[in-house]
Amino acid sequence: MIDLDALAATKQAPSQRIQLSEIALIGVYEISKILTAPTRLETTLANVLNLLSSFLQMRHGTIVLLADDGGPEVAVGAGWSEDSLSKTPQRYPERAIGQIIATDVPLVVHNVADHDLFDASDVAALASDGVKVSFMGVPIRAGDKVVGTLTVDRIWDGESVFRFDSDVRFLVMIANLIGQTVKLHRVVARDRDRLIEESHRLQKEITKLQPTPTSTAQASGIIGESPAIRSVLDKISIVARSNATMLLRGESGTGKELFARALHEMSPRASRAFVKVNCAALAESVLESELFGHEKGAFTGAVATRKGRFELADGGTLFLDEIGEISSSFQAKLLRVLQSGEFERVGGTKTLKADVRLIAATNKNLEEAVRNGEFRADLYYRISVVPLLLPPLRERSSDIPLLAARFLEQFNEENGRELAFSKQAMQVLKSCYFPGNVRELENCVQRTATFAAEASIVASDFACGQDQCLSATLWKGKASTDPWPKAIGGLGPFSAPPAAVEAYREPPQPARSIAAPSNPEALHAAPAASHGDVFDRAGGDDSERARLLEAMEKSGWVQAKAARMMGLTPRQIGYALRKHAIEIKKF
């Protein structure tokens, strides 16, 4: 360790001048070490000044760095009373420093009290105790530009100019080193600022590009701003990042397929296929060959080998809708595929593998089905890794105006119309119970818009305003008898709000006209007991029966499909078929 004080003391003896250059070298060496240390520039400069004070026996030392506009940017001091620089920066001799910067030439003053570059306050600051003080200052250069000054002062004992010269040369060397360091720091700072700016810009770009739950939802056609829908979207955006099997629960028409697609689109599999199979719409043998494919000649009509949906969804997502409807033997087959990822085509012997992310959906109470032995518990656990319940529309009625407006806009676009809802009409929609959820709302808007006579849709344009709303009457019929099990969270397709249940249980009231309701909210919120039951054959509403038959025929006697066509739930259609004593045709 170098004893700087001892070295500095040797500097006092004129006979040992030769040693001064040694001291200077040691000083330069020590200061260069400080300057290359990875600390903040201000700290580095303060350390340089502290070291200098040992070499030069100075009272004060100051380094001032200039900003681009020429004003002081950094001022670091040593020997000043604490905070004196930051509190009163004018304390350091501004005019003297200004001259060094302007002339780019070192300045040496033997006695500051005699020099016109130092005013009374400078003298008071530098020589407050009345001693004679000498001053030295040199410019700090970065390249050929003056970027600051290094100045020191010390008690003047009348020493020769020669001694000052060597000290000035020493200061110039130190100032040059400081200049290089400042230059380096500024280059690094500029680079760092540029990189930070660039990183902020890229962050912004990424945020713009990254599909937020809302933007993906919009892209997938999901409409809804309610907290319930936002919370579902948030969850979906998290689950999408994983490969976990997801079970979408919810009443018919709540958008299970739509949300399954959104999940696929938010997932890393988005660029691959989204393949959908409705398990309820297919007989077991057909379902098997649909899912796993078949070999040529496997059965009558299998004229060529065909890939199944598992293969087609390889790398992508397979959406198994209405999974609660599959038979117990098919449950076993599906379980095997989900456990091993392996399957064979119908009629084939080769074991195939597919990398598929599974999303299943059901509006059935699977827990009850498991309890009743209708659904395998092991399959239940495998598909319900991440269960998500879609809220019924009546629990997020704030979404009704948005959805209705969008469906009407679609209708207008497709039919070249300019229909709009009156305030009253929107009120009717907002207060409707919609047991068939968004699908029913969509159908309701389509039907009403089709028959609307004027450009403004009014309350009496709705089917319920003409006592023709099939869903309302069906719902009324089931309200007290078919509650959605509490196990999967709340009201089910046919469970009605208490008021509606009460209304249904009341003894029949005299019929009232609802064609032009005075209170549109009462129109559909709870089907009035006064509505005639269109499925009561004694009451006679053959048109409803005919509509039912027509839908069943069109859907190939698949109840789930017919329900969808009519904007009803499968349970509702089942109820309607029983009411009308319509026998289901089997093929």
Ligand X SMILES: Nc1ncnc2c1ncn2[C@@H]1O[C@H](COP(=O)(O)OP(=O)(O)OP(=O)(O)O)[C@@H](O)[C@H]1O
Residues of span 351-390 touching ligand X by CB under 6 A:
361, 363
Give CA–CA dist 19/7, Å, rounded. 9
Helix or strand run (H / E) with residue 170: helix 161-209
Residue 388: which H helix or E strand, with range? Answer: strand 386-389
Instruction: Give the tokens for residue 487.
Output: 């196990």
The least distance separating ligand X from the CB of residue 292, rounded to whole angstroms, comes to 22
Q: How many residues bind ligand X (CB under 6 A)?
A: 20
* Shortest Å, Cβ 404 to ligand X: 11
Under the binding rule (CB under 6 A), the answer on residue 253 touching ligand X is yes
Tokens of 119: 């005013």
Determine if 341 is a binding residue for ligand X (CB under 6 A): no
Q: How far is the CB of 363 from ligand X (least distance, A)?
A: 5
257 forms part of the interface with ligand X (CB under 6 A): yes
Quickly tell me which residue has 């494919």 as its tokens.
Answer: 293
CB-nearer residue toward ligand X: 80 or 411:
411
Q: How many CB atoms lie within 10 A of CB 174?
A: 26
Sign for the pseudo-dihedral over CA of 203, 204, 205, 209: positive
Q: Could you please report the per-residue DSSP string of 4-72?
A: HHHHHHHHT-GGGHHHHHHHHHHHHHHHHHHHHSSS-HHHHHHHHHHHHHHHH--SEEEEEEE-TTSSE
Cβ-contact 112, 134 below 8 angstroms: yes
Give the type of residue at 44. T
* C-beta of 439 vs 478, nearer to ligand X: 439
The two structure tokens encoding residue 352: 């195939």
Please tell me whether residue 568 binds ligand X under the rule CB under 6 A. no
Stretch that binds ligand X, among 92-100, 245-253, 294-302, 578-586 (CB under 6 A): 245-253
At closest approach, how far in Å is the CB of 261 from ligand X?
8
| Rounded least distance, CB 216 to ligand X, Å | 13
The answer to whether 237 contacts ligand X (rule: CB under 6 A) is no
Tell me: does residue 562 bind ligand X (CB under 6 A): no
Q: What is the closest distance, in whole angstroms, from the C-beta atom of residue 398 to ligand X in the complex?
A: 12
Q: Which stretch binds ligand X (CB under 6 A): 115-123, 160-168, 220-228, 264-272?
A: 220-228
Judged by CB under 6 A, which of 61, 106, 224, 392 binds ligand X? 224
> Is the CB of 257 or the CB of 374 nearer to ligand X?
257
Q: Does 249 bind ligand X (CB under 6 A)?
A: no
3-class DSSP state for residue 301? coil
The contacts of residue 521 (CB under 8 Å, 6+ apart) are 427, 428, 431
Two structure tokens written together for 566: 């009519």
**The only residue of 48, 75, 177, 222 in contact with ligand X, by rule CB under 6 A:** 222
Contact 16, 8 (CB under 8 A): no
CB atoms within 10 A of CB 82: 8
Which of residues 361 and 464 has its CB atom nearest to ligand X in the complex?
361
Q: Give the three-class secondary structure for 218.
A: helix
Distance CA 567, CA 569 (A): 7
Contact 182, 41 (CB under 8 A): yes
Closer residue to ligand X, CB minimum distance, 252 or 289 = 252
152, 174 contact by CB (below 8 A): no
**Binding range to ligand X, per CB under 6 A, among 29-37, 54-62, 249-257, 504-512:** 249-257
Q: Among 167-175, 239-247, 254-262, 324-332, which window interacts with ligand X (CB under 6 A)? A: 254-262
Region near ligand X per CB under 6 A, out of 251-259, 284-292, 419-427, 507-515: 251-259
Segment contacting ligand X (CB under 6 A): 19-27, 62-70, 250-258, 521-529?
250-258
**Nearest approach, Cβ of residue 220 and ligand X (Å):** 9
CB nearer to ligand X: pick between 224 and 517: 224
CA quadruple 179, 180, 184, 187: dihedral sign:
positive
Which of 14, 221, 508, 556 contacts ligand X by CB under 6 A? 221
State in angstroms the smallest separation of the CB of 322 from ligand X. Answer: 7
Residue 223 found at the interface with ligand X (CB under 6 A): yes
Residues 388-427 within binding reach of ligand X (CB under 6 A): 403
Burial class (CB within 10 angstroms; exposed 0-12, middle 13-18, buried 19+) of 454: exposed
Is position 258 an interface residue for ligand X (rule: CB under 6 A)?
A: yes
Q: For residue 460, is it left (φ>0), alpha (ψ between -120 and 50) or beta?
A: alpha
Residue number of the CB closest to ligand X reads 255
Using CB under 6 A, pick the residue from 321, 325, 461, 533 that binds ligand X. 321
φ, ψ (nearest 5 deg) of residue 4: -65, -35
Token pair belonging to 374: 């209708």
Residue from 149, 151, 181, 254 touching ligand X (CB under 6 A): that is 254
Query: In the range 431-450, which residues lie near ligand X by CB under 6 A?
Result: 438-439, 442
Tokens standing for residue 238? 């998290």
Applying CB under 6 A, which residues contact ligand X?
221-224, 250, 252-258, 321, 361, 363, 403, 438-439, 442, 564
